[in-house]
Structure 1
Amino acid sequence: MLNKLKLNQLYFKDTQFVNLMTKRIFNVLLVANPYDAFMLEDDGRIDEKIFIEYMSLSLRYPPRFTQVSTEEDAWKQLGNTRFELVICMPGTDNSDTFDIARQIKEKYPRIPLVVLTPFSHGIRERMEHEDLSIFEYVFCWLGNTDLLVSIIKLIEDKMNLEHDIKEVGVQMILLVEDSIRFYSSVLPNLYKFVLRQSQEFATEALNEHQRTLRMRGRPKIVLARTYEEALDLYNKYKNNILGIVSDARFPREGKIDPQAGIRFLTVVRSESPYIPLILQSAELSNREFAQNVHAQFIDKNSKTMSRELRQAVSEHFGFGDFVFRNPKTKEEVARVHNLKDLQNAIFTIPADSLLYHISRNHMSRWLYSRAIFPVAEFLKQITWESLQDLDAHRQIIFEAIVKYRKMKNQGVVAVFQRDRFDLYSHFARIGDGSLGGKGRGLAFIDNMIKRHPQFEEFENAVIEIPKTVVLCTDIFDEFMETNQLYQIALSEADDETILRAFLRAKLPDSLVEDFFAFFDVVKAPIAIRSSSLLEDSHYQPFAGIYSTYMIPYMEDKYERLRMLSDAIKGVYASVFYKDSKAYMQATSNVIDEEKMAVILQEVVGTRYGDRYYPSISGVARSVNYYPINDELAEEGTVSLALGLGKYIVDGGLTLRVCPYHPDKVLQTSEMEMALRETQTRFYALDLKNLGHNFSLDDGFNLLKLSVKDAEADGSLNYIASTYDPYDMVIRDGIYPGGRKVITFANILQHDVFPLARILQLVQKYGQGEMRRPVEIEFAVNLDAKEKRGTFYLLQIRPMVDLKADLEEDLETIPEEQLLLKSENALGQGIMDDIQDVIYVKTEGYSASNNQLIAYDIEKLNKRFLDEGKHYVLVGPGRWGSSDTWLGIPVKWPNISAARVIVEAGLTNYRVDPSQGTHFFQNLTSFGVGYFTINTYCGDGIFNETLLNGMPAKEETKFIRWVHFDKPLTVKMNGKKKLGVVELPEPDSQETE
C-alpha cells in the first residue's frame, strides 16, 4: 500500500492563494430615504465602522458606500461608478425603493440586489405584498454594522464559490435557514467567528504578505433557504463541506415543512457518516432526532443561543486547536496548536485516540479549516480502511507535514520567529531593511528551485540552498548609530584600527535570543557573508571586496555567540577598509550610501576530524568567452574544486568544464597536463581555531592543505583519479599508492552524481529568469557510500554582458599596425580613449620579485584613478593570483584603472588563461579586456621592442610606463576570442 503511495514522489504544489477570492465588492450603492440612511449610518459613520471592522479582521480593501435617496441620484451614481452590490432600504412611508430596485435590475441585471429592512411590524406587512424575486437576499437590520460585513462577505463567497473550490478545494459551511430575522443574526455571528479563526491560522504564513493572502483560503459560508436549494448545494459540493448548520422548519416543494431539516440531515448522514451537523430548532422534541443522526442540537429559544452555536462550530468543524480525545471518556489527551506541533506530537498520541480521529477524518478537516489544502487533500485519501496500520499512518502524516513545510518554506523570505525556525526553515530575515545583493540573489534562486519541478526529478540528488538567516540593513544602521561608529569608519584610520573599533562595539541585544534559536537548528559551522546594497547589484559587481568569515560549530553556545558577533562586526567593518574606499572611488559610489546586510549561512561540508569542507565547490558562468573544441560560448563554463570555494575565488588551479561536454576536459586530456594543471591544494575550515586571534584576514581560521590530506580524510571517493607511475597512466577512481589527481572523473564521465545535468538546469533557468548571463556559486556534499548528494546553490549574480557588436574582422588587420594581439581574449567591445601602457620588463624578470612589482603597479594605478584615466597593463603570469609564484599578487583595487590586462607568457614562465581569478566578475562588468599571449610559441603579438624604444614617462626597477600622444584602439570579439590593441596612425608617434 505504501509503495503504491510512493511518499517520496509526493509532490505538493503550493496553494496559489492569489487566485482565490478574485471577485470582490469594492463599491456599494445604498438606496434609502435620508432618515433611514442616517439611522443605518448611525450619525453617518458607516464607512468608518466598516473600515474598523475590516482592519480588526485583517481584511483588505473595505468597500465604499454611496448613499442615494432619489431615482435621479441613483442613475447618476450608476452612470459614474461601477457598483458590485446594491442595498435597498424600504421605508415605512411606502416609498418607491422597490420601484427603483426593479428598474436597476432591468438595466443592470448582473448587479446583485439585497433588501435591508428595519425590524418593524409595518414594513413586514408591506413586504408580504412585494415581489422579492429580484433580490438575492432579504436581511433584517438590527442596528449592528457586523451585518453589513456579513452581507458583503456572503455575496463575495457566492461569487467565488465554484472557482475557489475547483481551484484548491476551499471548504464551505452550509447554513440552511429561511427566517430572515434569524439568519440576519446568525450570519454575523458565524462570519465573525470564521474570520477570527482564519486570522489565527494565517500565522502558518511566513510573512505579512502571505498572511493576508492566506485569509483568502478561509471557509466560505453559503446560505440556503429551501430544502431543494440545500440538497442541491450538498450534492454539488459534498466533498468540500466542513459542516452544516440547519434549521428544522423551512420550505420544501413550495410549502413550509416542519420536518424539512430532519429530512435533509437524514439524507446527508446516510451518505456522509462524518460531516459535522448542527440542528437548530425552537421545538425541543427535535433534540431526540438530532441524537439519532449524530448532530448537535441547539435550542433557538435559549438566551445564550449565539454562544452555543459558536462553541459547537468551533468544536466540530475543525477550528481552533486540534484536541485529541480518549474515544471512551472523551477526555482530552493531547492538544496541538499548529502544524509544527502536530508534526512533533504525532508519534506520541495514544493509539486508540489517533485511530478514533483518523477514522473520522478529523485531521484533514482541521487542516482544511486552516487552508492547508495540499496536506488535507492528501490525508483525506488515506483512510483507515485503506491502510489499517497505525504506525504507517503516523509516518505518513509526519512525512506529509514535513514535505509540505519544506515546500512552504522554500522560495519565501520568512520573518525569523524563534519558536518557528526549525530544520525545515530555509530562509528567514531579521529586521525590516533590505536583504542586500547576495541576500536577494539567494531568495531568488530559492524561489526559482521551487517553481521548476525539474529540480525535483533527480533520483540521487537534492537541490536547495543552505539554511540561511539574513540580518537586514536596518540592523547595520542601528549598530553604526548606537555605537557612534561613523566618525572613525569614514576617517583615514588604517584597517586594523577600524576593525578594533568595530569589535569593541555592541550588537543590538535583541539578536542574542534569535542567534540561540538559530544555533539550536544549525549544528554545523556558519559562514558570515557580506550582502551589501551595492554588491552584486546588476551593473556594479562588488565581488570579493568585503569579508566573509566562517566559524566552527561549538557546543558552548556563549563561545559560539562571541565568535559569531565578532564575525558580523568584522563584515560590517570591511565596508570601511582602505580597499573598499578605493573601490568606491573607482566606481563613483559614495561610501555612506553603502549599507550592509549580513548573511548567516550553514557552511556546506562534512567534518573530518578537526577539518570541515565540502566534496565539491564551484562557480558556473552561463556564457563562456573561452570556448574550446566543440564548446559553444552560450553553453557556459564551470570551475570545479575540492574543498571550500575560497580556493576558486583566489585563482587556484581548478578544473574547467563545460556542463554540456562533461567528458571532454582539457586539463585531463593529456597525462602531463593533468599532473601539472590540476588542483594540488585545497581550503578547509580549522575547527580547532576558536577565533581568539580574530583578524583582518577573513581566512585566518582556514587551513590550506594538500590533496594528500584529503586522501587521508577519505573524502576523495568519486572525486579523484590515481596516477600509476609504473604504467604511466591515470586511472579513474582511488587505488592504493600513486598520486591522487583531482579530476572529478567518476562524476563527470561516469555520472555517479548528476552534476552536469543539474548545472545545465541551473544555468538555463538562472539566465532565463535574470534575462542576462549569470554567475552562480555552488557546493556539493556527496555521500559516497549511498552514491547520493545534495547540491547547494550559494549565490547568483549577473555577468554583465557587453553587447557591443564588432562588424570588423580582426584577423585582417596588418601586424605592423598592432601593439598587441591575442587569440585568447576575454571581453567584448571597442575602446578608443587609452593613451598609456604599463608593462613589466621581461629583461631580468624573476617571479621572486612579484610582490614588489605589485607595489609599484599599485602606486601608478592610484595616480590614474586620481586623474580618471586608464591604461593597458602587460605582465607575465596570472594577474591577481594569491600564489606569488604563479603571478603578480595584485588585488582588483590595485589595478582598477587598467582597461586591458595582458598575461604574457615567457619561455621559462608559461601561463594558461586564468580561470576563476577573483576579478573576472569585475573585468566583465567594467568591460575590461583580458588577453593571454605566449609570443615565444607564436601565440599572439606583443611588440615590446617598440615600447622599449620609446621614452618612459616613469620607470622603476621592474616596470615601465609609456605614454602615446594619440589614443590606442582596443577591439575585442568575445565570441571569437580575438582581441587587438591598434597603434595610433603612424604620423603621430612622436612621443613625449
Structure 2
Amino acid sequence: MESSDSDLRRFERLTPFKIREVLIVSSPFDHYVLEESGHLSELISQEYSELNLTQAPRFIHSPNAVDAIALLRERSIDLVITMLRIGTMKVHEFAQQVKSIQPGLRVVLLAYNTRELATLREGAGLDHTFVWHGDSRIILAICKLMEDERNVHHDVERGDVQVILLVEDSRRFYSSYLPILYRMLVKQTSRLMYEGANLLEKNLRLRARAKILLATNHEDAMLHIERYSKNIIGVFTDGEFPTKSGNRKSAGLDLVKEIRSRNPHMPILFQSKNSELAEPARALKTTFLHKESSTLRKRIQYFMEQHMSFGDFIFRDETGEEICRAEDLRQLRDQLIEVPIDCVGRHASRNHFSHWLRTRTEFGLAAAIRPKKLDDFEELEGVREFLLSSINDFLAANRKRQIRDYSAGLEKVGGFQKLGSGTLGGKGRGLAFFYSKMPDLGIAERFPEIDIVVPKSMVVATDVFEEFVERNDLGRFASDNHNDDEVRSAFLAGRFKEEHMAVLSKILEIVDWPLAVRSSSLLEDSLHQPFAGVYDTHFLPNDHPDDKVRKKQLADAVKLIFASTYSKKAKSYVAATPNSIEEERMAVVIQELVGSQHQGLFYPLISGVARSRNHYPVAPMKAEDGVAAIALGLGVTVASGDRCLRFSPAHPNRLLQLASTSSALEQSQRKFWALKTGIEQDIDSQSLTELMVSSDIAIAEEHGRLSQIASTYVAADDRVVDGIARPGARILSFHGPLKRDSFPLANILRHVLKTCENHLSCPVEIEFAVDIKENEGRSCFAMLQLRPLLTIGAQYEVEMSHLTSENLICQSSLSLGTGVIDNIKDIVYIHPQRLNRLKTRDLSEPIERINAKLSQQNRPYILIGPGRWGSSDPSLGIPVSWGQISGAKAIVEAAMDDIHVEPSQGTHFFQNIVSFNVGYLTITSADEDVDWQWLDSHDADYEEGPLRHISLDGDARVLLDSKAGKAVIEKPTQAAD
C-alpha cells in the first residue's frame, strides 16, 4: 500500500494555472465603490489567509478601456474583471480587443445589479457575468472559478480530483452562492486533512480540493456530467434553467433523472423558489432547499457533511439509523472491526468508503479500494479483511515518514519526533523535510549497501522556548545590554514547564547514545536570509552513571541554546538584517550523534559540508557540479574554516590541494575534533564546550581510523603514496572514498544535492557525517542539515575596461557578488608584512570596536586583510566572528606572504557573506597585489600594530562583475587623478 506521500507527489503537479495578476477595469468611482469597505487587496489577502490559501492575486486598476488595452499590450495578465462604465468603448468591444491581444485570457463582467444586465448577453468576448452584492469575497470566488475551469481537465486526468457541479442561470443567485460554496469547500477540506500534516502538505492537499464548475444551461451541465461522471461527488441544481428543447420549467427534474440513470446514489441538492417542485424532487431522492431559506448556509453545510462525505463516516443500518461514526482513518479502522458485516457490505457496495477517503484527498488509498466489487470476495468477511489490511498498510507507510508529536511509548521507534506545538525552526525544518522526502529521493535503491539516514531526532519546538522565556521573565535580555555570561546564567537558572522537563527526562530513559543538541531558530536557514553559525551547538556524551547528571546536562544544553538567542553575537548579526531580535524564536534539535567510540573519544570518520553550486569552479569543473569540504572527526573543523579537503563531487579525483607535495603538506588537516566520553565527574553547565577536544591525527591512527583516508609523504622520493603502511607524515587525502570508491561518497553527494535542489527549487547546502565500517556492520551516510543556499543574484557584466591599475586599490579574478557598491569612505585593513601570524587573535577585539563605531555612525566600510577572514585557525587568517565585522560591505582576502590559503567556501562565515550580498574578493597569484603603499599614505583614524582604519576624502567604489567573477576596488576620483 502506498503512503499518502504518493498522493502528495501528484499534488505538486496540480493546479498548473494560478491567477496572480488581475486587471480591474472600471471608472474611478466604481473602483472606489469596490474598495468602499477597505482596500480590496487587503480584504482579499485576509480572506486567502483565513482560508489557508496560497498567495493572493495582485490587483491592478485601469480607469478606462483605452488605458487597459495599452497595459495589456505591455504585460501579461491572468484575468480581466471589467465593469460597464469603462469610457467610450462598449464592454463587448473591449472584451473582443482583449482576446485579440491575449487569446485565451478570461474576461469577466461585474455589474452592480441585474437591471444593468437587462440588455447584455454573455459571449462576444465575455466569459462570465457576475453581480456585485457589496461583498468583496465575490472577487475570490471569481478567481477560484476561473482557475477551476482552466485546471479541472488537467487535475482530473493527473490527480483524479473531485468535481462539484453547480447548475444555475440566475446571475444574482450564483454571484451570492459561489462565495459561500467556496468558503465552505475550503474550510471543510482543511478540517478533514490528515492530523500530522505540516504546512507544505496542507497547501499541497488544498490543490487537490474538489473543483467547482458552473453550468448555466442544460447542455453545459450534461457536457460536464459526461466528461467527469466518475469524479463528480455532488450536484447543486436549480429547478429551472434554459434548455435547447425549451422545457425550462422541468429542466431541473429532467437533469436529475438523467443523473440518476447514470448514478443512483449521487448526492443532489435541488434548489428552487418554486415549492411545488419539492415533492417531485424528493421523489427522485434529492435534498430540496428553498432558495430564500433563512438557513441556507447551514443547510449547505449539513448537505456537504451528511451527503457528500465531508463529515464523519457514519455507519448506518438498513433503516438509515446511525450505528456509530468515525472522525478519522484510525477510528474508521477500529469501527470496521466492530460493526455488523451486513453494514460493511452495504457501505462498500455504494462506494461510501472510497468516496469518504477522496474528500480527505487520500486518493491513493481510495483508488486501491474503489475498483473492488462484492463479487470479488467469496464472503463478506473478505471485504472487511481487505479494508482493514489496506488501511493498516497505509497507516504503516505514513508512520515511516511522518514528523510525529512526542508521545510516551514512541521513543523506542526512533525516527523524527516533536515536542511542542510551535514551529521546527530553520534547521529542524530542513531536516524534517529531508526525512519526509527521503523515500522519494531514491537513495536507498541507488546505494543499497549503505545506510542512508537522518539520525534519530527530536525537535523542541519554538513554543517551548516562548513558554520558558515568559515563565522565567527572560524577555528583558532581548533589549537590555547584558554580557553573555549574565544571559547564560539567567537562562541556566530558569525552570522548564513540568511536562516539558518530564519529556526530556523520559527520552534519556531510552536513549543511551551520545547526543548533538543544535540550535534551530525561526530565522535560521530561512530561504531569504539564512543564518549560519550564529547560535550554539553542544555535544553530550550522555554516559554519566548518574541519570540525574545526564538529565541536567541535556536540560542545560537546551537552556544554553535558548540563551544564545540573546547573545552579543546573535544581536549584532540580527541588527544587520531587516529582522528584530524580539521576533526571533528558538527551537532545538536533539539528535543522535553519528560516529563510533575509540578510547574515550567519540567521532565520525568523515564529516563535511556540500553545496550544489560551486562559486569558484576550476576547469573542467562547472558551477553546477557543486563543491564539498570534508574532514576527519566532528564537523566543527569544516564549519569553522580549519584545514580540510575540498573537492567537486563530479570530479573527486581532481584534488587541487594535493596537486603538489608542498601544498599537500601545507594544507592537509592536522587536528580533528571529537567528543570526550566516560567522564564521571560532573561538568559545570557553563563548561559544556570543554567536552569537545581537538586531537592530533596521530591519535586517530592509534585508533585504527586512518587506513582509508590517509596517505603518506615519502620524503626520500618527495611523493605522496596512498595508505599508511610506510613511515612518514600523514596526509588526509581520503583516497578510499574518493579514488578507490570504497565508500561511494562522491556519488551519494551528487545524487543528494541534485534531488534536494529539485525539491527546494533552489541551490542547497547540506551537512553530513560518514562512518565507514571496514570489518563488521554497515557503513552509514547521515544527513545532519539541509538548508537553502542563497543565490548571488542576477548575473551581469560591469564595465571595467576604462580602469588602469593606477586607479585601483586592488583587483581580483576570483570574486563573489554582483553590481556596484559605492559611497564607501572608510577602509579597515591589516598589512601582511607587519602581521605576526602567531598573534592574529589579538586583532579581533580592536576590529570589533572599529566595526561597532562605524556601524553606529552608519558608515559602511571595506575590510582588507591577509588569509581567510573568519577562520578559527589563526595561522590561516584573522579569527573574527561575523558579528565583529558585520558592517563591512566588501571583504578582501589578500595573499599571505608564506602560505596559500583556499577561499572560505563551505564555512558558516562564507554562508553569511552570500546571505548579506557582501562583496567578496580573493587576491590570487594571478592578480596584482593590493596597493598597500597607497593605503599607508593616508593618516590613520586608528592604528594598532598591522591594523589601520583610514577615512577617505572621496568615495571608493567596488565593482563586481558576477558574470566573469572579476572585481575591482576603485580609488576615489580625486585620489586617482
TM-score normalised by L of structure 2:
0.66
Contact 1:431-1:474 within 8 A present in 2 as well: yes
Give the alignment partner of residue 579 of structure 1, picking from 569, 572, 576. Answer: 569
- Determine helix, strand or coil for the equivalent of 1:84: strand
Deviations 1:99-145 (A, max 9, x none): 898445358778967799xxxxxxxxxxxxx9999947999xxxxxx
Distance in 2, Cα, partners of 1:194 & 1:222: 19
Q: How does 1:566-965 map to 2 (within 5 A)?
A: 566-689=556-679, 692-694=682-684, 699-735=689-725, 737-785=727-775, 788-808=778-798, 810=800, 813-908=803-898, 910-933=900-923, 939-965=927-953
Structure-2 separation of matches of 1:728 and 1:787: 38
Q: Quote the Cα distance in structure 1 between the aligned partners of 2:590 and 2:629.
A: 25
User: Structure 1 pair 672/83, CA: closer, same or farther in 2 (3 Å)?
Assistant: closer
Q: Give the counterpart of 1:502 among 491, 509, 512.
A: 491
* Cα distance in 2 for residues equivalent to 1:944 and 1:793: 45
Check if 1:221 corresponds to 2:348.
yes
Match of 2:541 among 540, 545, 552: 552
CA 1:789–1:87 in 2, change beyond 3 Å: closer, same or farther? farther
CA gap of 1:863–1:101, structure 2 versus 1, over 3 A, is closer
Distance, in Å, in 2 between the alignment partners of 1:690 and 1:592 is: 39
**Partner residue in 1 for 2:958:** 970
2:969 pairs with 981, 984, 987, which one?
981
Quote how far apart the aligned CAs of 1:585 are.
1.9
Whether contact under 8 Å (1:547, 1:698) holds in the other structure is no
Shift of 1:817: 1.4
In 2, the alpha carbon distance for the partners of 1:687 and 1:605 equals 12
Residue 4 of structure 2 contacts residue 398 of structure 2 at CA under 8 Å; is this kept in 1?
no
CA contact (8 A) 1:471 1:597 kept: yes
8 Å Cα contact 1:718/1:744 also seen in 2: yes
Given that 1:830 and 1:969 are in contact with CA atoms closer than 8 Å, whether structure 2 keeps it comes out as: yes
Deviation at 1:921, TM superposition (A): 0.6
The letter of the residue matching 1:105 is: V
Hey, what's the Cα distance between the residues in 1 that align with 2:233 and 2:347? 25
Give yes or no for contact 1:24–1:156 (8 Å, CA) kept in 2.
Answer: no
Residue in structure 2 matched with residue 469 of structure 1 by the alignment: 458
Q: Which moved more, 1:660-669 or 1:777-786?
A: 777-786
Size of the alignment, in residue pairs? 724
Shift of 1:25: 7.2
In the TM superposition, residue 902 of structure 1 has moved relative to its aligned partner by 1.9
1:16 counterpart = 2:1: no
Q: Secondary structure of the equivalent of 1:794?
A: strand
- Give me the whole-angstrom Cα distance separating, in 1, the residues matched to 2:525 and 2:194: 37
Q: Which residue type is aligned with residue 349 of structure 2?
A: V
Counterpart in the other structure of 1:543? 532
Relative to 1, partners in 2 of residues 1:912 and 1:435: Cα closer, same or farther, differing over 3 Å?
Answer: closer
Once the two structures are overlaid, the 10-residue window that deviates more, 192-201 or 554-563, is 192-201
Distance in 1 (alpha carbons) for counterparts of 2:681 and 2:444 = 38
User: Aligned partner of 2:393: which letter?
Assistant: I
Shift of 1:657: 0.4
Where do residues 228-307 of structure 1 align in structure 2 (5 Å cutoff)? 275-276=379-380
The C-alpha deviation readout for 1:288-334, integer Å capped at 9, x for no partner, is xxxxxxxxxxxxxxxxxxxxxxxxxxxx865xxxxxxxxxxxxxxxx
Q: 2:442 aligns with which of 434, 453, 467?
A: 453
2:90 alignment counterpart? none
* 2:867 and 2:894 in contact (8 A); partners too: yes
Separation (CA, whole Å) in 1 of partners of 2:320 and 2:557: 57
2:135 aligned partner = none
Per-residue deviation, 1:476: 0.7
- Can you list the C-alpha shifts for 1:212-260, whole angstroms capped at 9, x where unaligned? xxxxx99952259xxxxxxxxxxxx99989997xxxxxxxxxxxxxxxx
CA distance in 2, matches of 1:203, 1:443: 32
> What amino acid does structure 2 have at the position aligned with 1:639?
A
**Partner of residue 372 from structure 1, selected from 386, 390, 393:** 393
| Residues 425 and 524 in structure 2, CA contact (< 8 A), matched pair in contact too | yes
Q: Does the C-alpha gap of structure 1 residues 106 and 655 become closer, same or farther in structure 2, counting only changes over 3 Å? A: same
Q: Does the 8 Å contact 1:829/1:927 carry over to 2?
A: no
After superposing the two structures, state which structure 1 stretch, 667-676 or 641-650, moved more: 667-676
Q: 1:566 to 1:833 in 2, by over 3 A?
A: same
Paired residues of 2:797 and 2:963 also in contact (CA < 8 A): no
Runs of at least 5 residues in structure 2 that lack an aligned partner in the other structure: 12-158, 169-183, 196-204, 211-231, 240-248, 268-278, 289-299, 337-343, 352-366
Q: Is the Cα–Cα contact under 8 Å of residues 647 and 683 in structure 1 kept in the other structure?
A: yes
Contact 1:854 1:888 in 2 (8 A): yes
Deviation at 1:963, TM superposition (A): 1.9
Q: C-alpha separation between the residues in 1 aligned to 2:605 and 2:663?
A: 23
Identity of aligned residues (%): 32
Q: Say if 1:718 and 1:860 are closer, same or farther in 2 by CA, change over 3 A.
A: same
Cα shift at 1:502: 0.9
Q: In 2, Cα distance between the equivalents of 1:690 and 1:526? A: 17
Q: Does 1:511 align with 2:532?
A: no
Displacement after TM superposition at 1:895 (Å)? 1.0
Q: Given that residues 495 and 696 in structure 1 are in contact (C-alpha distance below 8 angstroms), is that contact kept between their aligned partners in structure 2?
A: no
Distance 1:671 1:681 in 2: 19
Q: Secondary structure of the residue that 1:700 maps to in structure 2?
A: helix
Q: For 1:342-421, what aligned pairs fall within 5 Å after superposition? A: 366-368=388-390, 370-373=391-394, 405=396, 408-421=398-411
**Which secondary structure state, in structure 2, belongs to the residue aligned with residue 759 of structure 1?**
helix
Where 1:772 maps in the other structure, the secondary structure is coil
Contact 1:822 1:980 in 2 (8 A): yes
Deviation at residue 694 of structure 1 after TM alignment: 3.8
SS at structure 2 position matched to 1:801: coil
Q: CA RMSD in A?
A: 4.5
CA distance in 2, matches of 1:58, 1:620: 34
2:417 equivalent in structure 1: 428
Whether the aligned pair in 2 keeps the contact of 1:194 and 1:218 (CA below 8 Å) is no
Secondary structure, aligned partner of 2:463: helix
State whether residues 753 and 788 of structure 1, in contact with CA within 8 Å, keep that contact through their aligned partners in structure 2: no
Deviation at 1:682, TM superposition (A): 0.6
Contact 2:478 2:581 in 1 (8 A): no
Structure 1 residue matching 2:451: 3-state secondary structure:
strand
Change (3 A) 1:471 1:197: closer
Cα distance in 2 for partners of 1:516, 1:980 equals 57
* Deviation, structure 1 residue 799: 2.5
Are 1:478 and 2:479 matched, yes or no?
no
Consecutive unaligned residues in structure 1, runs of 5 or more: 1-9, 30-47, 64-80, 89-97, 117-129, 140-147, 160-171, 176-182, 205-216, 225-236, 245-267, 278-315, 319-361, 374-403
By how many angstroms is 1:612 displaced? 0.8
Q: Deviations over 1:918-944 (max 9, x none)?
A: 31011111122232325xx66433111
The equivalent residue for 2:517 is 528
Contact 1:637–1:657 under 8 Å retained in 2: yes
Partner Cα separation in structure 2 for residue 492 and residue 196 of structure 1: 51
- Matched-pair contact (CA < 8 Å) for 1:880–1:890: yes
Q: CA deviation at 1:953?
A: 2.9
Q: Distance in 1 between matches of 2:330 and 2:238?
A: 27
Distance, in Å, in 2 between the alignment partners of 1:849 and 1:56 is 64
1:836 and 1:961 in contact (8 A); partners too: yes
- Letter paired with 1:663: N
